[in-house]
Chains A and B, each alone.
Chain A
Amino acid sequence: MEKSKLTVWQFFVLTLSFLIGTSFFFTPGGLIAAAKQDAWIVPLWAGTAGILAALVWLHLSKLHAGLSIVQICIKVAGRPIGGFFALLYIFYFIQLAAFITRNLGDFMKQALMPLTPLTVFHVMFLFVTGYAVFKGIETIARSSELLFLIMAATFIFVLCLALLEWDWGRFQGIFRMDVWKTMKETSSIFGFPFMEGVIFLMLFPFVQSKKVKSSFILAYAVATILLSFSTFITIGVLGVTRASHDTYPFFVIVQEIHIGTFFEHLESTMALILLVAIFIKLSIAYYCSVLGICQLFKIKNRFWITIALILLISGLAMGYDNVVENIEFSKKYDFAYTILYSMVLPCLLLLVTWIRRIRNKRTEEPAS
């Protein structure tokens, strides 16, 4: 086990980039299609649910200080059953990494280089990420810190330019949604990005400071607000009609930005933001998979695991053929799929832990 430490700020940056990194780009379109002008409200309740889930995870990790979810599984449920749970988690992380990788590939192929095969993007990017993973979580955290600044600055810059197209008229017809129906239709947002934060159960042990709780919750709150904000921007700048029809509405916004007639075509900045965001998110998911495998099978050297996972992830990333399948899948199953890992299993573990504690107390009490 490597002895690494993360500062509170680093942890905040990691959490925030993980949550907001790709979702600000991929979610608004679907939300707007479902909830029209009121789409910006959806992330707010989803985020609140996310914070509740985060509290559960934090509690679980507090009960088992210094242990990651894989170790908690084994400790709580014993090697055979716990090991199975741990494996489930590891597979979830790997699958998450594959998903993120595919997002990157789809985007690159559509937007920038249509002829280059998908796998090339995947493998190349996984190599870069693998390098970071091999170097360890501290390296990932430090790179994220630097990249986060660049990403935030570019994002704000692009945003300011995009606001030139702002029109309040596009909000005509606001506050008329059927909450229950919308919630059902947009249930995938609970899964992506908020419940995916369960992955941080792997990283809690690295933060020594007690402020881990507040920084994690704060990151959730900020992510919620930002996601709502970016949906809001999308509506105001692009309009509901177009946003609900586009695959990547945010990309369209940036495509159409111009300063005078000379500075046009700023979509490369968007590609930059997205790639950096994907890098951070992927390196976290990838690292957690590697770490989980190492912890489960007690492997000392991460190197070969890292290499092997490149192949596995890039293979899994080819699991579906196009974006439509991806969108459909996440709409239908994402919620149920992630809820298993983010709520059902942690609650189960929590329950078992409590039962054991009570039993231990009972057995201890007569003794003392």
Chain B
Amino acid sequence: MPIQDSNPAQDSSAVHNPVYNQHDPLSFVNQIRDYLHSPPDLIIHSLVISPDVPCSCLFLDTLTDKDKIEHELLSFLSEKACFEDVTHADEMISVLKGRIPFSSISSSDDFTLCVNSLLKGVCLIVVAGAPEVLWINVSQTSKRSVAEPMTESTVRGPQVGFTEDITVNLSLLRKRVRNVHLVIEQITAGTETETNMALIYLDNLASGPVIEEFRKRLAAIHTDSILDSAYVEEWLRERTYSPFSTILSTERPDILTSHLLEGGVGVIVDGSPIALVGPITFFQFFIAPEDYYQSADIATLLRWVRFLSFMLSVFVPALYVAVVSFQQELLPHSLLISIAGQREGVPFPAFVEAALMMVTFEVLREAGLRMPRIAGQAISIVGALVLGQAAVTAGLVSTAMVIVVAITAISNFVSPSYSFGITQRLLQFFYLMLAGAMGLFGLLCGVLMTVVHLASLKSFNVPYLSPVAPTVLSDWKDILVRVPRPWMDAYPRMNGTRKKSRKRL
């Protein structure tokens, strides 16, 4: 396990300079206890395994499987018969290593390493007179079991989501890709938290430069703590500031797997149920996992519905404002009259009206997320009444505006990716402001700005707008439409996969 030199805890340990002294195991044990500030969950169990060899067993009972230690390790050690033939403490370590019925077993004489491993759920066995300390990995943390994904649910398809535990997550992946080419590289980052991360890819598919880029960016993480994959995401992103995410975050192992199988590279962070995948392009945010579990024609239709609702959610408020307060000539005559009728007596300009309603909606949504579930009903009643009925009756906003906000809000929820949904909300306000100030011209400038921005983005050297710009026609079959599986015989070319064809030759 690599050790970070800059760890302040270790710096202070250098002052004490405690070294494992094989002749004085007791002081070593005491040092460890002092070093950890004698925590209540540190258990030091002394026992005699062989007539002349006393030993101590150290572990943190909050991080370890106490059952395992008591029933398996300690009962094994206390069976005197096993070690009667061993008299010399020097041999004891190798004998123990060979005989203790645990698979994860090793030894070391480094103090800091010992302390660190103790914090990772290792049980240390200090044998008096032995040159090294024995480690037995019996870690067990409290974790929840594998459950349905919370944010990305599907009707059909696997109902499994990642959990907070990296080993469980990796096992979920391994189960899906039983392949020698699946590479899992372990990386630790965060000087204080020492968080484990796994870089995952298929070495016969993922392109070398992309993997290299991932490694480079992961290695560049200089932070004290990583509590969630979101922390890593910000390090992994392109340097340019952008509301558009160039990394897909997912809590579904099947999505991660499907990206790996198309030459993507994934990162799983211990302690986070959200995995990160890259490279990802703009149009892939319109793909929902369900697309692959439904027939191709329906999936295509739904994909277009998603494109449409993206357009709606981003443009409707801005367009409404632009048309109602700048370019009224664009409205059909009957619609113009009906909107004019509704707006009779509304005191605010359309822009203020729209901003008011949109902000109210955002507040309601935020309140809905934060409040305790039990209060849910109250807020939905208030929300529905305030947003809908009362505001119109009071003559504060026009009915058309309520519909506009409702359409915007509903189409926003269509987005398969939550983070992309938030991006849409940012865009909404950006466009709304431009439209409120400059009408259609402002809106168009905003759109052009967005297009330029999107075109300038790259996700791990894959242009963000591919396969449309640059045009990669063969990739359109899984972006703009979803063709049936048998036709998808080539890997996406934009990812630059090593193999080109899915057919096994």
Chains A and B touch each other in the complex, with CB atoms below 8 Å apart: yes
B440 & A268 in contact (Cβ 8 Å cutoff): yes
A108 touches B441 (CB 8 A): yes
Q: How far is the CB of A252 from chain B (nearest CB, A)?
A: 14
Q: Assess whether B445 is in contact with A142, with CB atoms less than 8 Å apart.
A: no
Pairwise interchain contact B452-A132, C-beta atoms closer than 8 A: yes
Taking CB atoms, residues of chain B closer than 8 Å to A131 are 449, 452-453
Taken together as a complex, chains A and B put the C-alpha atoms of A262 and B338 apart, in Å, by 13
Q: What is the minimal beta-carbon distance from B73 to any residue of chain A, in angstroms?
A: 61
Query: Is A279's CB within 8 Å of the partner chain B?
Result: yes
Nearest B residue to A258 by beta-carbon distance?
B332
Name the A residues within 8 Å of B448 (CB-CB).
128, 143, 147, 275-276, 279
Residue among A142, A145, A264 with most chain B CB within 10 A = A142
Secondary structure dominating the interface of A: helix
A84-141 interface with B by 8 A CB criterion: 108, 112-113, 116, 121, 124-125, 128, 131-132, 135-136, 139-141
Task: Give the residues in chain A near B469, CB-CB below 8 Å.
Answer: 141-146
Name the residue on B nearest A150 (C-beta): B451
- Complex: chain B residue closest to A283, CB-CB: B452
On whether A128 and B449 interact (CB within 8 A), knowing A145-B471, A263-B332, the answer reads: yes
B455 lies within 8 A of A143 (CB): yes
Selected interface stretch from B97-105, B162-170, B322-330, B394-402: B322-330
Interface residues of B in 312-368 (CB under 8 A from A): 326-327, 329-334
For A264, the chain B residues whose CB sits under 8 A away are: 332-333
Q: How many residues of chain A are within 8 Å of chain B by beta carbon?
A: 37
Check A10 for interface membership: any CB of B closer than 8 A.
yes
**B121 part of interface (Cβ distance < 8 Å):** no
Q: Nearest CB to that of B322 among chain A residues?
A: A268
Contact between chains at B470 and A145 (CB < 8 Å): yes
B146 at the interface (CB under 8 A from A): no
Contact with A along B417-442 (1 / 0, CB 8 A): 00000000000000000000011111
Q: How far is the CA of A276 from the CA of B465 in the complex (A)?
A: 17
Contact A271 B332 (CB under 8 A): no
* Contact indicator per residue, chain B 289-328, by CB within 8 Å of chain A (1) or not (0): 0000000000000000000000000000000000000110
**Cβ-defined contact, B445 with A124, below 8 A:** yes
Distance A271 CA – B322 CA, assembled complex (angstroms): 14
Bound-state CA distance A273–B334 (Å) is 26
**Is B444 within 8 A of A272, CB to CB?**
yes
Task: Determine whether A179 belongs to the interface, using a CB cutoff of 8 Å to chain B.
Answer: no
Of residues 449 through 464 on chain B, the ones whose CB sits less than 8 Å from some CB of chain A are 449, 451-456, 463
Interface residues of B in 66-86 (CB under 8 A from A): none
The distance in angstroms between the C-alpha atoms of A7 and B445, with both chains bound, is 26
Asked if B455 and A265 make an inter-chain contact with CB atoms under 8 angstroms apart, the answer reads no
CB distance from A11 to the nearest CB of B (A): 11
Most chain A CB atoms below 10 A, which of B445, B454, B463:
B445
Q: What are the residues of chain A within 8 A of B444 when measuring CB–CB?
A: 271-272, 275
Interface size on B (CB < 8 Å)?
29
How many angstroms between the C-alpha atoms of A9 and B467 in the bound complex? 13
Which of A113, A262, A263: most chain B CB closer than 10 A? A113
Q: Does B227 count as interface, using CB distance less than 8 angstroms?
A: no
A147 touching B440 in the complex, CB below 8 Å, given contacts A125-B445, A264-B332, A265-B331: no
Contact with A along B154-197 (1 / 0, CB 8 A): 00000000000000000000000000000000000000000000
Residues of A within 8 A of B454 (CB): 143, 146
A149 within 8 A of B: yes
Query: A262 is contacted by which of B326, B334, B438, B456 (Cβ under 8 Å)?
Result: B334
CB atoms of A143 and B440 under 8 A apart: no
Residues of B within 8 A of A268 (CB): 327, 330, 440
Give the residue name and chain of the B residue nearest to A9 (CB). B471
Contact of A146 with B465 at beta-carbon distance under 8 Å, contacts A128-B445, A272-B444 already known = yes
Known: A113-B439, A124-B445, A272-B444. A146 touches B451 (CB 8 A): yes
A149 pairs with B468, CB closer than 8 A: yes
A9: chain B residues at CB < 8 Å are 470-471
CA distance A130 to B330 in the complex (A): 30
Rounded to whole angstroms, the CA-CA distance of A131 and B444 in the bound complex is 15
Question: A9-B471, A128-B445 in contact; A113/B326 too (CB < 8 A)?
Answer: yes
Q: Please tell me if the beta carbons of B439 and A142 are within 8 angstroms of each other in the complex.
A: no
Interface centre among B326, B332, B448, B470 (most CB of A within 10 A): B448
> CA of A242 to CA of B327 in the docked complex: distance in angstroms?
25
List, in ascending order, chain B residues with CB within 8 A of A125's CB.
445
The interface residues of chain B lying within 8 Å CB-to-CB of A144 are 469
Cα A142 to Cα B467 in complex, Å, equals 10
Q: Find out whether the CB atom of B332 lies under 8 angstroms from the CB atom of A265.
A: yes
Known: A124-B438, A145-B468, A271-B440. A139 touches B331 (CB 8 A): no
Residue in A140, A143, A262 whose CB lies within 8 Å of B332: A262
B332: chain A residues within 8 A (beta carbon):
261-265
16 contacts between A and B (CB under 8 A): A7-B471, A9-B471, A112-B440, A125-B445, A131-B449, A132-B456, A139-B456, A142-B456, A142-B470, A144-B469, A146-B451, A147-B448, A261-B333, A265-B331, A268-B330, A275-B444
Chain A positions within 8 Å of B, measured between CB atoms, are 7, 9-10, 108, 112-113, 116, 121, 124-125, 128, 131-132, 135-136, 139-147, 149, 261-265, 267-268, 271-272, 275-276, 279
